[in-house]
Amino acid sequence: MPLTMCTSRFSSHAHRGYWFGKIALLICVLAGTVFAPNELFAWFAWFARLLAPLFLLYQILVFIDFGYTINAALVEKDEREDAFFGCDNGGNKYKALILLVCLVLYVGCFSIIGWLYATWPQECAFNSAAITTTLLFNLINTGISVSGVAEHGSLLCSGLVFAYTCYLCYAAVSSLPEPECNPHLRKDADDDVSMLGVSIVFAAISVGYIAYRMGAREIGQNVMSGGPSTAPAVSLGGETQLVGGVELGGRPAPKSAANDEVTVRVDGDNSHAEGEESVESRSYLTYHLKMCLISVYMAMLLTDWGVPASLQGDQRYSVGYASAWLQLSTNWVACLLYLWTLIAVKACPDRDFS
């Protein structure tokens, strides 16, 4: 991350090259952990505890983006009248699929809310606050998403956010370390492993979607020579120049019939002929920062937030006030962020959100 944080050609080289050095460094780090003192990992645990919640915040943004993206993709398929799993589509098949998925999501969510009300003691303030706020937040968000306030609103996205926050609500009330308020503590310890598995699945899906979104921006946009570029091409006399940079999403620059060489202009430099290495000046700070947050979150997830077993006493895995409030806070932040995406256009009418 430090080597690629500045916008330069060196950042592109450091990100995309030196693979033998990177692999050798990784092997040395892995071997070094065997001999590293425990104090090193204790300090790293504190570092990871501070950064890991930031990934939860980013995971929420990714989840909301996924909801909007998948809804828009299905609507576009209907507008183009794409075939619906091999069947003819008159323009409503994918919209019907969206409604069916929404119905399943909302029936499942209301069932979970009812089960939580019936199973977790409501005389405990934490339980009632967690379940009720989850329900109210999502009812408000759903109402706004189908109203004229949010013309871009999506019932599918609202349903996905509702389902995710129901999971967070269950995780929060299940983490409360008070037996009189948490029936989960009286169940088999294998349930803790199940919750860990669900958390890992959510994290894995998030990481996969993050990788897909990052890769989608790079397909056909290899900044090193030899890879096709997608910037629009403009013919200037006998030579063809590639202008605009790789982020404009144009088409590959064709070679001129009269001249086999193609001049490529990247960040103002149009002196690279074909066969020479051409590197675009870029910064990969955000990419490596995301990978850093993912790694520390997974470290905390797999080690019960770095708490040694000897300090946990009789507590179960992922059970504690810190874990409970972290899950509930993440739940509230998810609802508030989604609410902001719904009302931002109306709240800031002078801002261009396109």
Q: Which of 62, 60, 23 is nearest to 208 (CA)?
A: 62
Q: Which of 63-77, 254-268, 272-286 has the highest mean pLDDT?
A: 63-77
Do 128 and 122 touch, CB atoms closer than 8 A? yes
Q: Which two tokens stand for residue 89?
A: 């589509």
| Sequence-ordered strand ranges (E) for the chain | 233-236, 239-242, 263-266, 269-272
Instruction: Choose the most confident range, by mean pLDDT, from 206-220, 247-261, 276-290, 338-352.
Output: 338-352
What one-character-per-residue DSSP string does 21-78 give?
Answer: HHHHHHHHHHHHHHHS-HHHHHHHHHHHHHHHHHHHHHHHHHHHHHHHHHHHHHHHHH
As given in the structure block, the two tokens for residue 132 are 């009720």
Q: Residue 98: how many CB atoms within 10 A of its CB?
A: 18
Which residue has better confidence, 346 or 231? 346
Contacts of 128 (CB under 8 A, 6+ apart): 122
The three-state secondary structure class of 269 is: strand
Q: What is the mean pLDDT of the chain?
A: 77
Query: Residue 337's closest CA among 23, 122, 32, 64?
Result: 64
Per-residue pLDDT, 262: 41
The three-state (H, E, C) secondary structure of 6-21, written as one string: CCEHHHHHHHHCCHHH
pLDDT score for 137: 95
Asked if residue 274 has pLDDT above 60, the reply is: no
Give me 291's structure tokens.
């990978």
Question: How many angstroms separate the CA atoms of 81 and 92, rounded?
Answer: 8
State the average pLDDT over residues 350-354: 76
Least confident of 75-79, 120-124, 241-245, 284-288: 241-245
- What per-residue confidence (pLDDT) applies to 222? 44
Judge whether 164 and 327 are in contact, CB under 8 Å: no
Cross-strand pairs, 242: 233, 264
**Token pair recorded at residue 263:** 């001049």
* pLDDT of 202 above 70: yes
Tokens representing 293?
A: 């947050």
Contact 155, 127 (CB under 8 A): no
**The tokens of 99 are what?**
């409604």
pTM, entire model: 0.69
**Residue in this structure with the two tokens 């894995």, named with its chain if needed:** 204
Q: Which residues of 100-123 are buried (b: 16+ CB within 10 A; e: fewer)?
A: ebbeebbeebeebbeebeeebeee
Confidence of residue 118 (pLDDT cuts 50, 70, 90): very high
Q: Which residues pair with 233 in a beta bridge?
A: 242
With helix as H, strand as E and coil as C, how does 210-239 read? HHHHHHHHHCCCCCCCCCCCCCCEEEECCE
What is the predicted pLDDT for the residue at 195?
66
- Tell me, what's the pLDDT at 25? 93
Per-residue pLDDT for 285 more than 60?
A: yes
Q: Using CA atoms, how far apart are residues 112 and 232, in angstroms rounded to an integer?
A: 51
Amino acid at 17: G
- Distance in angstroms (rounded) separating the CA atoms of residues 68 and 148: 17
> Helix, strand or coil for residue 252?
coil
